[in-house]
Amino acid sequence: MPKQASDVHHARALCAEYGVVFALDGMSHPARMDDQLVLWVEPGKDLGRCQRLEEGSTRWFVQPGCLLGDLVDAGLTQFQDLPCHISVAAWLADRTLCDWETGATADSGLVYASVLLADGTVAGLGPFGEANAKPLEGARLQRMVPALFQLAAGDHAAQCAASSSWPGRYRLDALKPASGQTPNLAHLLLGHGGDLGWVDWLVIDEQEVQPQSEPPYSQRFTASRATGLGLELPASELDTQVKALFDAEGLFPHPGQDL
């Protein structure tokens, strides 16, 4: 287990140099990668901080090794019906737990995320709109973000958005949210399976996060959802393109969850 964020960044560089897959450990239903060299990385208690950004704030700074039980103990009781022993990183990556209705990813309470991408870029992802005019930092984000919004405005995304249950692995609907909500780039990481990057830290707003629970097995996301909805082609195309924009190098698994 890494002791500090720099350990993770060093491990990423070594994986990139030697052609090793960098995979999040501790997530449910991990995909088997028996034919590949894999480094499994699990954030532990040394990366487990959970604290208010400032006194009186509703926003919490959360590291990936923080357990959901720790969030509950801190007062975020919206997580009390989820497995208390899993890390925030594992929750964020789990597509079966991050399965809000189409356009409703704001119910996650996720506001910001700092994510380590395959090429070593550290990307700050958050709200993106007229009220959030902070310029995109770095060439990687300046290329990636417009391409993501272009995907979200395309025909495939429109077909998927017509379903109340988002059919793809990656929550591109976060860029076309329900009326009254702001597009949020951090929400693309909800249920990402460890496929898109390594999350260094999150900011969660206790006023925005809605009570969460494990859905019944019959309602959980599976890879066959898109087929059942007649949306296999558009969902697959979107997932392929989102993965390529985040991880053209193929450093992270694809997919990381066997669903």
CATH number of 5-246: 3.30.465.10
Q: Is 194 left (phi over 0), alpha (psi -120 to 50) or beta?
A: left
CA distance 62 to 177: 24
Q: Per-residue pLDDT for the chain (259 aa), expressed as one digit of tens each? A: 889 999 999 999 999 999 999 999 999 999 999 899 999 999 999 999 999 999 999 999 999 999 999 999 999 999 999 999 999 999 999 999 999 999 999 999 999 999 999 999 999 999 987 556 566 777 888 899 999 999 999 999 999 999 999 999 999 999 999 998 999 999 999 999 999 999 999 999 999 999 988 888 888 999 999 999 999 999 999 999 999 999 999 999 999 999 8
The structural domains of the chain, with segments of one domain joined by +, span 5-246
H helix and E strand count, the chain: 7, 7
- DSSP secondary structure letters along 128-159: -BTTB-PPPPSHHHHHHHHHHHHHHTSHHHHH
Could you tell me which of 208, 179, 5 has the C-alpha nearest to residue 89?
5
Instruction: Report the C-alpha gap between 197 and 117 in whole angstroms.
Output: 5
- Cβ neighbours, 10 Å, residue 214: 12
- Report the alpha-carbon distance of residue 170 to residue 239 in Å, rounded: 6
Q: What is the spatial distance between Cα 38 and Cα 107, in angstroms, rounded to a whole number?
A: 33
